[in-house]
Amino acid sequence: MARRTLKKKTKAKAKPVPQDQPFVVKKSRIAGKGAFATRDIKKGERLIEYLGERVTHAVADARYDDHATDAHHTFLFNVNRSVIIDAYVDGNDARFINHSCDPNCESEIERGRVFIDAIRDIRKGEELNYDYAYGRDGTETEEDETDLYGCRCGTRKCRGTILEEISKAAKKRLADKAARRHHPKHTVSRKAHRHD
Residue 74: contacted member of Zn ion, ligand SAM, none (CB under 5 to 8 Å, by partner type): ligand SAM
What is the radius of gyration, based on Cα positions, of the chain?
18
Query: Minimum CB separation from Zn ion for residue 159, in Å?
Result: 6
Give the relative orientation of helices 168-182 and 184-195 as an angle to the nearest 10 degrees.
110
Query: Minimum CB separation from Zn ion for residue 145, in Å?
Result: 12
Q: Which is nearer to Zn ion, 37 or 153 (CB)?
A: 153
Residue 158: contacted member of ligand SAM, Zn ion, none (CB under 5 to 8 Å, by partner type): Zn ion
Query: Minimum CB separation from Zn ion for residue 132, in Å?
Result: 10
Contacting residues toward ligand SAM, per CB under 6 A: 28, 30-34, 71-75, 95-96, 98-100, 151-153, 162
Q: Which is nearer to ligand SAM, 147 or 176 (CB)?
A: 147
Q: Which of residues 93-112 bind Zn ion (CB under 5 A)?
A: 101
Would you say the C-alpha torsion 193, 183, 133, 62 has a positive or negative sign? negative
Per CB under 5 A, 158 contacts Zn ion = yes
Stretch that binds Zn ion, among 19-27, 87-95, 129-137, 156-164 (CB under 5 A): 156-164
Per CB under 5 A, 119 contacts Zn ion = no
Give the integer Cα–Cα distance in Å for 110 and 189. 43
